[in-house]
Amino acid sequence: MILTANSEVARHTARRKTGNGWHTTFIGENRNTLEQGQAAPETGVLYPMAFLVEKDPRAVVKPHFHEAHQYQVVVQGGGRLGTHDVGSVAVHYTDAWSAYGPIVADDDGISWFTLRNTWDSGARYMPAARDQLRAARLQDHQHREATSPPMPVALPADLARTTALSCTTVIEQAPDGMATWRYRLPPGAHAAGLDPDTGGGQFWIVLSGSASAGGAAFLPPNSCVFVGPNDGVLTVIAGKGGAEALCLQFPVLARH
């Protein structure tokens, strides 16, 4: 199941106002898009979700946790996430039932992708949900969190002059497959990712330039692709100006 979402299409068709910013759905349903009476997807099985969150200047998201493994990728603005300064491009990962935060936007606001490979019904805010978190610990749900420092995207002129393909590890691969890599491709170059079966599927985000994946048309920055664990190695092709892309791999699913 290779899924693609063009950022320009998503912005024009799926962007909605929230109380302190904007929310744009890219892939899958989420609690904001389920229609009244529509059954939520089953928890714990493969169900990719991707959406872009844009927060106003000085907006605050209180500490909370989710029932699904999750990546957040800061693509614009900056602020603080827990004890970390974050900005473009920083990667934050949490296991299910791992509390984190708060998220505090700076004077320019902050925008991030939220990426999950299974359904999540919404945030459980602390301290009100503390008893739920304690119960999860009794069921052997671990706390795991990883945050990378910001690393700006390449300027178009520098990207177009790139002559060598590079792959940088952003989050080291864990025994269960969780890991993140950043690719930089010269114009027209091909890059093959790691087999997604080593984890629980992968999201790819185009950071700069343009790229094609899975036989789709070339995608502009902030577009994303999901490749399932059984879909085989994904090959990414850079456009005429080169490309930068993130590959974010989830832990192996118990069922997929």
* Phi, psi torsion values for 160, nearest 5 degrees: -65, -25
Q: pLDDT per residue over 210-242, tens digit each?
A: 999 988 899 999 999 999 999 999 999 999 999
Within a 10 A sphere around the Cβ of 107, how many other Cβ atoms? 9
Q: What is the pLDDT of residue 254?
A: 62
Where do the structural domains in the chain lie, given as residue ranges?
7-35+45-147, 156-249
Mean pLDDT over each residue of the chain, to the nearest integer: 93
Q: Which residues contact 59 (CB under 8 A, 6 or more apart)?
A: 20, 21, 104, 105, 109, 110
- Please report, for residues 71, 129, 174, 204, the alpha-carbon distance to residue 249 in angstroms, rounded to integers and kept in the order given: 9, 28, 10, 9
- Is the bond preceding 89 in cis, omega lying within 30 degrees of 0? yes
Tell me which residue has tokens 């691969």.
173
Q: Quick one: pLDDT at residue 30?
A: 85
Give the rounded percent of residues in the chain with a pLDDT score beyond 70: 98
Q: CATH class for domain 156-249? A: mainly beta
- Quote the tokens at residue 210: 């343009």
- Tell me which residue of 59, 71, 76 sits closest to 18, measured CA to CA: 59
Strand partners, 209: 243
Residue 205 pLDDT:
98
Quote the CA–CA distance of 165 and 211 in Å, as a whole number.
14
pLDDT value at residue 138: 62
pLDDT at 37: 77
Q: Under CATH, what is the fold of the domain 7-35+45-147?
A: Jelly Rolls (2.60.120)
Q: What is the mean pLDDT of residues 197-205?
A: 97
What kind and span of H or E run contains 75? Answer: strand 70-81
Evaluate whether 186 touches 163 at the Cβ level (below 8 Å): yes
Q: What one-letter code names the amino acid at 204?
A: W
When pLDDT is averaged across residues 41-61 and rounded to a whole number, the result is: 94
Strands 15-18 and 3-5: unpaired
The yes-or-no verdict on residue 256 having pLDDT over 60 is: no
